[in-house]
Amino acid sequence: MNAIASIPGKSQIEDPIVRFSGVRKSYDGETLVVRDLNLDIVRGEFLTLLGPSGSGKTTSLMMLAGFEAPTEGTISIDGKDVTALPPHRRGIGVVFQNYALFPHMTIGQNVGYPLRVRGTAQAEIDKRVMEALEMVELGAFGDRRPAQLSGGQQQRAALARALVFRPDLVLLDEPLGALDKQLREQMQYELKRLHEELKVTMVYVTHDQTEALTMSDRIAVFNDGRIQQLARPADLYENPQNAFVAEFVGENNRLSGTVTGVSANSVQIDVGGGAVVKARTAGSFSKGDKAVLSLRPERVAVAQTGKWENDFTVEIDKVVYLGDINRLLLRFAGGSEFAVRVANVGSGPVYKRGDSVRVAWRQADCLAFPA
Amino acid sequence: MSATTTFAETGQVPRRLRTLVRRAERQHLTKMLALMAPSVVFVALLFVVPIALFLFRSVDNVEIPKYLPNTVAEIGQWHEGELPPEGVYRALTEDLIALKGEPEAAVLGRRLNYSVPGFRGLVTRTVRQLPDTVPASARELLAGIDERWLDPVYWATLKQQSGRITDFYLLSAMDLKRGADGAITQVDETQAVFLSLYGRTLYTSVGVTVICLLIGYPVAAVMASAGPAAANWLLMLVLVPFWTSLLVRTTAWVVLLQTEGLVNKILIYLGIINEPLSLMFNTAGVFIAMVHVLLPYMILPLYSVMKGVSPVHLRAASSLGAPPVTVFRTVYLPLTIPGIAAGCTLVFVLSVGFYVTPALVGGPSDQMIGYFIAYFTNSAVNWGLASALGAFLILVIAVIYLVLGKVVGFDKLRVR
């Protein structure tokens, strides 16, 4: 964990377990699904490839597993070029979204499969299958058929199967996508526990940013076939490098406007409706440039009295009750999609549509990107 | 939650609930039966009943009791090893006089001729020469018309076949007969045709099924893994034969396979052979034409099962370290067994009943059971034997199906 914590979002590191260099992939010869992917994966880390569907994250994973061949570029594992190596000789464990357990085998036979095709002795297979099943708390399920197990149990069995032959690298392709919310959270903990216990490198693909933030050592945000940002979860959330990352990771208020004033590390931006917002810069601006602002709802203080750089009084357009919080949608800068959160503490003021409310936020919490 | 507590508190409600549920189930069942009724009635009237009636013919012995009622009543007195008493002769004479000038005499003769060759001639000759009244000694009269009436073989046959039900056809269909003493024996080797016929039918069917599987499996696998556009094209090509009638296709094979036919000409032109191969009127021709006709029946069930095999399973297997051949052997093949079982059952059952194709492209020694059933139905008008052959065919298929079902599981034999 510490070794990984020291690694910033650099794409080139010493002795990576996996290196993508200059990888491109096109299915039709016209559009690139993956454009110029350069990525080093650190030994032992939990790396998440995060992005919307069609962003190239799954294709990248499939190329690493060997199911798809890169159109250009090379992939190496442990310093060896594996670009042309078939999947069965890469020794990578893969967990698929729909479990992909073999329906004609029992859970025990499924988990023993990678050992059987490697010609391991039967006694050894039995021992290691039992170990693997116990590791995922399925010790009593070895004789069941996959169809007799629940989704969560099936995914745990699939995990045991991908780990039983002790691969150094395990790829997980949206493994929790088919599970319900509660089970998903439980499996997230289990996956993290296994990752720490076994010290394997895990590459995890998901489109769920919460999942990515809670589990990963590093996250690579994909969009449009490129890595938009590669960083640790907190960095990604606090310092998104562009508007897409800000938008995709976490909830976000997006405002656009024109730069009216520039000073060191900060800009003033006219967002319309007579409002001028002071923001931290992520990029260089000059007066008159178009800019996009990104502001997390939870960083906006409602009805507070302190002196912050941005301070406005606006009308409430809608109140959404979410139980633990109330979400206020405000009419700000001419739009009405400006969201803030108010904790539902029981004793606070009651907000309703049409009320005016004072909102404030620090300049440092508001990021300006070039549009 | 509140509803269950209410039921628990009051003992009456559950009973009422049960009645309501039962009523709803009954309505549902009535609706289903009503929807199925037309097809059930159709199948029963036009399929099950006729088949049952026809199968009954394999044990039905209508002619002898009907046309020789007196003889059947009297012949019980006769003990084998001697000539029948005068009463039996008299009874037969009376029966035959009643048939004088009637067409039924020929029907009776034909029936008796199945059992003993020459019986037909004996009956027609006797009927023709009988006087209108029975003289004092019927035995002398009959012996005078034809000496064969003194041969116990004919009387033994009459006695054996005097019942309403006979095992004669069923035994014949298995190359068996009852001897004069009533014991079941094999017929002479020269007359034994049916057992080898079953053997040939099964051999041809199994052979055609295996060839269809070997040719069809890769095709179906390619179709299942092809993109939608290519799969549609391939599917259409597989289905093209269905657009043409079986008879036309078989006739086309006659044109292609004959000695001066297209296949031989091309092979000679390409220099692969020097002399034309004989591909017609032999087993090769039957196999070629039957495989062609039946191939779609193998490909379609295989294809439908293979389409259901998720490519992710194959990827999973290879990511777990299995080389392609192992992936096929341990994952793809086991997952496609339902398709193999369904396709093989379909092709086998269809080919067992094949008639037109072997009749047109096969030689005399390539004819299958269907040909003989048709022959005994249409030409020889021996419906009893045709029915017995059919009954055994159904039995053989049923046994094979049961064995296969026990081995691979009945749920896998379904055609999806």
Contact between chains at B330 and A65 (C-beta distance less than 8 A): no
Q: How far is B184 from chain A (nearest CA, A)?
A: 50
pLDDT for residue A29 is more than 80: yes
- Chain B nearest-CA distance from A113, in A, is 7
Q: Using the beta-carbon criterion (under 8 Å), do B315 and A96 form an inter-chain contact?
A: yes
* A97: nearest CA partner in chain B: B312
Q: Is the Cα torsion angle B136, B137, B142, B143 positive or negative in sign?
A: negative
Q: What contacts A236, CB < 8 A, 6 or more positions away?
A: A213, A219, A221, A229, A245, A249
Tell me which residue has tokens 């034909």. Answer: B110
What pairs with residue B177 in β-bridges? B185
Provide the whole-model pTM. Answer: 0.78
Please tell me which residue of chain B has the smallest CA distance to A161. Answer: B320
Sequence-distant (≥ 6) Cβ neighbours of residue B20 within 8 angstroms: none
**Tokens 């589990």 sit at which residue?**
A215
| CB nearest A113 (choices: B320, B324, B334) | B320
Residues 6+ apart with CB under 8 A from A235: A8, A9
Instruction: Let me know: does B321 contact A118? Beta carbons within 8 Å.
Output: yes
**Higher pLDDT among residues B357 and A334, named by residue:** B357
Closest Cα of chain A to B227: distance in Å?
13
- In 3D, which of A353, A316, A332 has the Cα closest to residue A256? A332
Going by their DSSP bridges, the two strands A46-50 and A218-223 should be labelled as parallel
Tokens describing residue B45: 């009237």
Q: Are strands A169-173 and B176-178 parallel, antiparallel or unpaired?
A: unpaired
A286 DSSP β-pair partners:
none
Q: Are B335 and A103 in contact (CB < 8 Å)?
A: yes
Query: What digits encode the pLDDT tens for the residues A50-68?
Result: 999 889 999 999 999 999 9
Is A133:A161 a contact under the CB 8 Å cutoff? Answer: no
Q: Which of A66, A104, A113 sits opposite B334 (nearest CB)?
A: A104
3-class DSSP state of B26? helix
Report the amino acid identity of residue B111.
R
Question: CB A117 to CB B321 under 8 A?
Answer: yes
Summary count for chain B: helices (H), strands (E): 22, 2
Local confidence band at A98 (pLDDT 50, 70, 90 cut-offs): confident
Strands A366-370 and A275-281 come out as parallel
CB pairs under 8 A between A and B: 68
Tokens of B362: 């096969």
Q: If you count them, how many residues does chain A have?
A: 371
Name the residue in chain A with its Cα closest to that of B312.
Answer: A100
Contacts with B242 (C-beta within 8 Å, 6 or more apart), sequence order: B296
Paired sense of beta strands A301-302 and A80-81, if any: unpaired
- Give the phi and the psi of residue B73 in degrees, each rounded to 5: -70, -35
CA distances in angstroms from A78 to A66, A89, B91, listed in the order given: 15, 14, 105
**What is the Cα–Cα distance from A6 to B258, expressed in whole angstroms?**
82
Work out the minimum CA distance from A117 to partner chain B, whole angstroms: 6
| Residues belonging to chain A with any Cβ–Cβ distance to chain B shorter than 8 Å | 65-67, 86-94, 96, 98, 100, 102-104, 113-114, 117-118, 161-162, 165
C-alpha gyration radius of chain B: 31
In three state form, how does the secondary structure of chain A look?
A: CHHHHCCCCCCCCCCCCEEEEEEEECCCCCCCCEEEEEEEECCCCEEEEECCCCCCHHHHHHHHHCCCCCCEEEEEECCEECCCCCHHHCCCEEECCCCCCCCCCCHHHHHHHHHHHCCCCHHHHHHHHHHHHHHCCCHHHCCCCHHHCCHHHHHHHHHHHHHCCCCCEEEEECCCCCCCHHHHHHHHHHHHHHHHHHCCEEEEEECCHHHHHHHCCEEEEEECCEEEEEECHHHHHHCCCCHHHHHHCCCCEEEEEEEEEEECCEEEEEEECCEEEEEEECCCCCCCCEEEEEECHHHCEECCCCCCCEEEEEEEEEEEECCCEEEEEEEECCEEEEEEEEECCCCCCCCCCCCEEEEEECHHHEEEEEC
Comparing CA positions, the residue from B131, B63, B146 lying closest to residue B93 is B131
Q: What is the pLDDT along chain B (416 residues), one digit of tens a residue?
A: 444 445 555 556 678 888 999 999 999 999 999 999 999 999 999 999 988 998 898 888 888 888 888 888 888 888 877 788 888 888 888 888 888 888 888 888 888 888 888 888 888 888 888 888 888 888 888 888 888 888 888 888 888 888 888 888 888 888 888 776 778 888 887 778 888 888 999 999 999 999 999 999 999 999 999 888 999 999 999 888 888 888 888 888 888 888 888 888 898 889 888 888 888 888 888 999 999 989 999 999 999 999 999 999 999 999 999 999 999 999 999 999 889 988 998 999 899 988 888 888 888 888 888 888 889 888 888 889 999 999 988 888 888 888 878 887 776 666 54
**Whole-number pLDDT of residue B9:** 54
CATH dotted code for B194-412: 1.10.3720.10
Q: What is the pLDDT of residues A207-232, one digit of tens each?
A: 998 899 999 999 999 999 999 999 99
> What's the gap between Cα B317 and its chain centre?
44
For B312, which of A92, A98, A118 is closest by C-beta distance? A98
Q: Residue A179: what are its φ and ψ, rounded to 5°?
A: -100, 160
Contact indicator for A199, A188 with CB cutoff of 8 Å: no
- Residue B86 is predicted with a pLDDT of 86
Q: Which residues contact B48 (CB under 8 A, 6 or more apart)?
A: none
List of chain A residues whose C-beta atoms are within 8 Å of the C-beta of residue B317? 102, 113, 117
- Integer Cα distance of A256 and A242 in angstroms: 14
CA neighbor of A57 nearest in space, from A239, A237, A251, A219: A219
Contact B75, B155 (CB under 8 A): yes
Residues of A in contact with B318 (CB under 8 A): 66-67, 86-88
Q: Which of A254, A276, A242 is nearest to A268 (CA)?
A: A276
Question: A27, A68, A95, A96: best mutation site toward chain B, by most B Cβ within 10 Å?
Answer: A96
Amino acid identity of A280? R
- Between positions 23 and 52 of B, the ones with CB within 8 A of A are none
Q: What is the ipTM of this complex?
A: 0.83
Across A28-47, average pLDDT:
91
Burial class (CB in 10 A: 0-12, 13-18, 19+), B122: buried
pLDDT at B242 (0 to 100): 81
Domain residue spans in chain B?
Answer: 2-56, 63-165, 194-412
Whether residue A9 is predicted with pLDDT greater than 60 in this model: the reply is: no
Q: Is B331 on the interface with A (CB under 8 A)?
A: yes
User: How far apart are the C-alpha atoms of A171 and A169, rounded to whole Å?
Assistant: 7
Q: Smallest Cβ distance to A67: which of B315, B324, B334?
A: B315
CA distance B316 to chain A (A): 7
In angstroms, the first-to-last Cα distance of chain B is 43
Position B247: which residue type? L
Q: How high is the pLDDT of residue A6?
A: 47
> Which residue shows structure tokens 């190596």?
A85
Q: Is the pLDDT of residue A304 over 90?
A: no
Kindly list the distances between the CA atom of residue A370 and the CA atoms of A117, A294, B115, B154, in Å, as whole numbers in the listed order.
54, 11, 105, 115
**Amino acid present at B154:** Y
Residues β-bridged to residue B195:
none
Whose CA is closest to A82, among A61, A65, A57?
A65
Q: What pLDDT, on the 0 to 100 scale, is given for residue A173?
A: 93
Q: What does each C-alpha distance from B2 to B6, B15, B16, B203 come to in angstroms?
A: 6, 18, 17, 69
Going A80 to A81 to A83 to A89, the CA torsion angle's sign is negative
Burial class (CB in 10 A: 0-12, 13-18, 19+), B146: middle
> Which residues in chain A have Cβ-Cβ distances shorter than 8 Å to B335?
102-104
Determine contact, residues A95/A163, Cβ cutoff 8 Å.
Answer: no
Q: Which domains does chain A have, with CATH numbers?
A: 2-92+167-245 (3.40.50.300), 251-370 (2.40.50.100)
**Edge-first strand listing for the sheet containing A335-343:** A301-302, A356-361, A310-321, A325-332, A335-343
CA geometry: angle B189, B195, B199, nearest 5 deg: 125
Chain B residues within an 8 Å CB radius of A100: 310, 312-313, 315-316
DSSP string, B136-204: S-HHHHHHHH-GGGG-HHHHHHHHHTTSSB-SHHHHHHTTEEE-TTS-EEEPPTTT--HHHHHHHHHHH
A169-173 and A201-206 as β-strands: parallel, antiparallel, unpaired?
A: parallel
Average pLDDT value for residue range A112-130 = 95
Residue A329, Ramachandran bin (φ over 0: left; ψ between -120 and 50: alpha; else beta): beta
Give the integer Cα–Cα distance in Å for B99 and B110.
14
- Smallest Cβ–Cβ distance between A114 and the set B312, B315, B321 belongs to B321
Instruction: Identify the residue whose tokens are 């002769």.
Output: B89
